[in-house]
Amino acid sequence: MCARDHVGATVKTQPFLRSFVTPAALCALAFLIAMAAVLQYSLRAYIPGSLDPGGLTLANFTALLKPLYAQVFLNTVWICFLTASYTLIVGYPLAYALVHVRNRFAKSAILITVVTPLFLGEVVRTYSWIIVLGNNGFINSILLQLGIIETPFQFMFTRFGVVVALVHVTMPVMVIMLAAALSHIDRDYLEAAESLGAGRIRAFATVTLPLSMPGIIAGVTTSFAWTFSAFATPQLIGGGQVNMISNLVYQLGFASFNFPFAASLCVAGLALTLAVLSLLRLATRPLEKMGPH
């Protein structure tokens, strides 16, 4: 309601936006039709050997309850959770440095490093990780050369490898959101804390961290949603050993041509995403109160 009023007001004050209304509505309509098609497919029976679906049924959804599929769902949530956590842990110091470093070159260097993943396609990025993580890859070669390990360390086809690559993918969003939150924290708050007897670390823990909480929540939530639909990364680095929902959809849809079942996976995946995000929101509500507003 509020949002619509706002949009209405914006359109009124900026008349040129009016010309976007029709294309926007058309796009929305197209997406809606696609969603309806997926939903419709998910309720149809699968006829082996045929691309056309059969009659209405709920069988696809009951089949999802099999441990095999439930496992993939859990795995997906877990990978999203790990990715969001690691991205936060690595991204926070980066965002902090980005906001507080004075040197302009250092600032640009951080920004470029963090943002580059956005410019490379997911596939290119994933292949570079294969070069880094592979058994003959960058890390293993160095460790072998230095004699630290005797056999290559297995990164490829492991959940760890997938998460590492996904963290890289998610980093830009996280850092940008955290940096936005951090840059809104007035320096005076820190000086006030210090004048009251807080050392650097305590000032950070009692002032900066809680005040950046809205950014943390936004970053984690977005990373979560962002990772949920990951496809190329788990496909290439997981190599079938680490499956997320998208990979399962791909296998069922394009290897077995079981479109109805693939569609029901999509619907369930979407529902799960929404469920997890609302849970996340619920869980972070008390934390949000810590923020500035």
Partner 1 sequence: MSSTAADMRRDVPQAAGGAGDDIAVRFSGVAKRFGDVVALNDVSLAIRRGELMTLLGPSGCGKTTLLNLVAGFFSPDAGQVLIGDELVNNVATYKREIGMMFQNYALFPHMTVAANVGYGLKMRRLPRADIERRVGDVLALVKLAGLQERKPRQLSGGQQQRVALARALVINPRVLLLDEPFSALDKNLRASMQVELREIQRTLGVTTIFVTHDQSEALSLSDRIAVMLEGRVRQVGAPAEIYAQPCERFVASFVGDANVLRGRLDRVAGGEAIVALGDARVKVSAVPLTGLASAAAVDLFVRPEQMQVSDAPGPCASVGTVAAQIYQGGHVDLYLDSVDSVSGRLLVRLPGHEAMTRWPIGARVNISFDRDTAVAFPA
Rounded Cα gap, residues 217 and 287, in angstroms:
8
d(CA 242, CA 62): 23
Is 210 a binding residue for partner 1 by CB under 8 A? The answer is yes
For residues 45 and 180, which CB has a smaller minimum distance to partner 1 in the complex? Answer: 180
Q: Does 191 bind partner 1 (CB under 8 A)?
A: yes
Report H helices in 43-158.
59-63, 67-100, 104-119, 122-133, 138-145
Q: What minimum distance in Å lies between the beta carbon of 209 and partner 1?
A: 10
**Distance of alpha carbon 218 from alpha carbon 181, whole angstroms:** 10
Looking at beta carbons only, is 186 or 283 nearer to partner 1?
186
113 CB neighbour count, 10 Å cutoff? 14
Binding residue for partner 1, selected from 193, 218, 220, 267, defined by CB under 8 A = 193
Long-range CB pairs of 67-71, under 8 A, 24+ apart, other chains included = 69/248, 69/265
In terms of Cβ atoms closer than 10 Å to its own Cβ (0-12, 13-18, 19+), residue 201 is exposed
Q: How far is CA 159 from CA 79, 163, 220, 234, 241, in A?
A: 8, 6, 19, 8, 8
* Nearest to partner 1 of 198, 225 (CB atom): 198
By the rule CB under 8 A, 293 interacts with partner 1: yes
In angstroms, the CA 47 to CA 285 distance is: 46
Chosen residue from 21, 149, 192, 279 binding partner 1 by CB under 8 A: 192
- Output the CA–CA distances (angstroms, integers) from residue 281 to 83, 93, 157, 170, in the order listed: 18, 24, 32, 19
Shortest distance in whole angstroms from residue 198 CB to partner 1: 5
- Taking the least distance from each CB to partner 1, the nearer of 43 and 181 is 181
Contact characters 130-169, partner 1, x per CB under 8 A? ----------------------------------------
287 binds partner 1 (CB under 8 A): no
Closest contact distance (angstroms) between CB of 207 and partner 1 is 6
If one asks whether residue 198 binds partner 1 (CB under 8 A), the answer comes out as yes
Check binding of 115 to partner 1 (CB under 8 A): no
Does 180 engage in binding with partner 1 (CB under 8 A)?
no
Query: Which of 188, 255, 282, 286 is close enough to bind partner 1 by CB under 8 A?
Result: 188
Q: Report in angstroms how near the CB of residue 200 gets to partner 1 at its nearest.
A: 8
State how far the Cα of 105 lies from the Cα of 82, in Å rounded to an integer: 32
292 binds partner 1 (CB under 8 A): yes
Instruction: Determine which residue in the list 54, 93, 121, 199 makes contact with partner 1, applying CB under 8 A.
Output: 199
Q: Which has the closest alpha carbon to 190: 205, 203, 209?
A: 203
196 belongs to the binding site for partner 1 (CB under 8 A): yes
Name, in order, each residue with C-beta under 8 angstroms of 55's C-beta and a sequence gap of 6 or more.
Answer: 44, 45
- Check residue 189 for interaction with partner 1 (CB under 8 A): yes
Q: Are 244 and 79 in contact (CB under 8 A)?
A: yes
Which of 122/288 has CB closer to partner 1? 288
Positions in the binding site for partner 1 (CB under 8 A): 186, 188-189, 191-199, 202-203, 206-207, 210-211, 289-293
